[in-house]
Structure 1
Amino acid sequence: MFSKAAVLVAGSWGTALASVLADKGIQVSLWTRNEKQMDEINREHKNERFLPGISLSANIQATTDMKEAVSGAQAVIMVAPSSAVREVSRQLKQYWTKDMLVVHATKGFETESLKRISTVISEELGCQEGHIVVLSGPSHAEEVVKRCPTTVVVASLEEEQAKRAQDLFMNNFFRVYTNRDLVGVELAGALKNIIALGAGMSDGLGFGDNAKAALLTRGLAEITRIGVEMGANPLTFSGLAGIGDLVVTATSQHSRNWRAGSLLGQGKPLPEVLESMGMVVEGIRTTKAAHTMSEKYGVQMPIATQLYHVLFEDMPAKTAVEALMGRDRKTEMEVMSQETWEQWHT
């Protein structure tokens, strides 16, 4: 039974998940470093920078004190940007106890080490990675806080931990499935942001629906290919964390990755795009990580590679698309190596 949960930090997705929990009568302590944001949430029940026009439940109380946020909580939900996860986890370690459920909803990698977020958290907390649960799936914060029907997946190496997370979040508008493929769910949630950037770029260039449909389809094959080589179950990429999250992120103006890609496609330079967004665009950091992963695992990721050239080597977006269209002829079924295919079919 959950009576209190701590959510770290108070961005759009963290606030949306806090709202899901508050609707279930759970007292939510929403941690932020920003005192002005804390006062706005506590006094006005609003978080205007991230979720404008939304009234928040009185069950949500913000604090800048990590100890206060975590004290007495049965669950801790980590929703920090990927670049801040290690630092926030290090702070959490002082107050975390092993009976607390730990869920993260961060879609990215630690860029420097290429480690998945659950690995980073478990290293800092000093626990087994199986203690960590990842929450992912097609879920815009702007719709969740309005109680639009939403379905997500929670994954853990330990089934009991996933079931605890399912019980924590599930209500009559927020449906939660469980999955044992922690690796696949994390990889799918992170890598789809790259394809969403590409989809936005295609729209910004005015290339139409045909191009975007092809980009999403081939992008899913690319994600699956690297995912399977890293130990994921290929079926995960056909589920909520894979194709579900890919579709919602790559086709909606709610998506900051799609919006950033669209601006790049219109010819805006990356620094100007980032300044105009005002929020973290995880797909940009993930593109850099994926480019390195592609070389490390010897897996072709042509979409990620061309996006890397656009983001970090100043290649014009139109040139990147031309490079993709002009690649050597391939068969559509080249998703994974023969060795890996045999592994999954024996």
Structure 2
Amino acid sequence: MSGQVAVLGAGSWGTAFAKILGDAGRDVTIWARRPSVVAALQAERSNPEYLPGLVLPERVTATGDPGEAITGAELVVLAVPSQTLRGNLAEWLPYLHRDATLVSLMKGIELGTTKRMSEVVMETARVPADRVVVVSGPNLAPEIVAEQPAATVVACPDIDRATLVQRAITTPYFRPYTNHDVIGCELGGAVKNVIALAYGIATAMGFGHNTRAMLVTRGLAETARLGVALGADPLTFAGLAGMGDLVASCSSPSARNRTFGEHLGRGATLEEARIATRQTAEGVKSALAIRDLARAHEIEMPITEQVELVCHEGVDPRRAVAALMSRTTKPE
């Protein structure tokens, strides 16, 4: 195989990941759906809509043709919104090399099926678990493209394959760690988006550090409860893909789920918040799927439940806070 890489999706994280790969010495082709994005990536080596000021390495090129991007690629990086993955991947199957490693950057749970993204990939592409690698961690794209030091987790049941990806994305500013716990890494990435929505709502409502610390710690607790029920290693949630990703998404004003939550906390509707943020806040739709997953396994996730009520059932955030605080007291 050629050693080339396809990055499918030209949002902020997909574009930043292409830069990482290029800086690590790989030849990368980004696929973007919109011709205007392809044109900017090609002509200006930038993505001004998502990452103004970025200049991509010479090794990175762009195309609007998925076949051109995927054919012959050794690594196929999936960076589309989680709820579109199944449909997109089904269209891309004819171009996939039989030995390609599929790398998931997505942090969500599929609506309706409550499947994790690696499960959607395995089912749609008809590949075993050891062909799918999950990348998750505190990876805010604007900081990474500014080459500020960052770390991530590369998870796969096949540690040799995880190591292959680790080597492909190691740069002086980006440090990947391998892990075998795909379940824990994916749940950490998906649930933190929902908790970040709650954090943004609380911030906009004027609550201080006590409230925010409560949301982070109790949010991590409900993430770990669900993860353990599904077979995850509880230690994963103390690491980069758990606490690390949660802290970054809650504390950073540039994190999209926190920002989306802030709009909701100021009284915006779901549509008004979507227009204002102009990016996909994965936690909005994942809140529904995570709630369903938790109920199916009889796991209490009170913060997730209240975020779902605010986002999808029009509950006033003040009522949601009151509901959280009035729950029956119990041991920690």
Aligned residues of 1:101 and 1:164 also touching (Cα < 8 A): no
Q: 1:34 matched to which residue of 2?
A: 34
SS of the residue 1:93 aligns to: helix
Deviations 1:33-92 (A, max 9, x none): 111111111011111111112222222111011111012322111111101111221122
Aligned residues of 2:71 and 2:97 also touching (Cα < 8 A): no
Q: 2:295 matched to which residue of 1?
A: 295
Q: What amino acid maps onto 1:325 in structure 2?
A: M
Q: 2:194 matched to which residue of 1?
A: 194
Deviation, structure 1 residue 98: 2.5
Q: What amino acid maps onto 1:322 in structure 2?
A: A
Q: Name the count of aligned residue pairs.
A: 332
Aligned residues of 1:137 and 1:242 also touching (Cα < 8 A): yes
Tell me, which stretches of 5 or more residues in structure 2 are unaligned?
none
Q: What amino acid maps onto 2:257 in structure 1?
A: N
Aligned residues of 2:14 and 2:79 also touching (Cα < 8 A): yes
The correspondence of residues 1-346 of structure 1 with structure 2, limited to 5 A, is 3-332=3-332
Q: Distance in 2 between matches of 1:63 and 1:298?
A: 45
Q: Which consecutive aligned stretches of 4+ in structure 1 deviate over 2 angstroms post-superposition?
A: none
Q: Distance in 1 between matches of 2:159 and 2:3?
A: 22
Deviation, structure 1 residue 3: 3.8
Q: Distance in 2 between matches of 1:19 and 1:170?
A: 11
Q: Distance in 2 between matches of 1:245 and 1:2?
A: 33
Deviations 1:115-153 (A, max 9, x none): 111111111211112210000000100011111101000
| Identical amino acids, percent of aligned pairs | 40
Deviation, structure 1 residue 243: 0.1
SS of the residue 2:133 aligns to: strand
Tell me, which stretches of 5 or more residues in structure 1 are unaligned?
333-346
SS of the residue 2:232 aligns to: coil
Aligned residues of 2:30 and 2:61 also touching (Cα < 8 A): yes
Aligned residues of 2:2 and 2:72 also touching (Cα < 8 A): no
Deviation, structure 1 residue 2: 7.1
Deviation, structure 1 residue 331: 0.5
Deviations 1:302-324 (A, max 9, x none): 10111111111111101111111
SS of the residue 2:242 aligns to: helix
Q: What amino acid maps onto 2:315 in structure 1?
A: M
Q: TM-score, normalised by structure 2?
A: 0.98
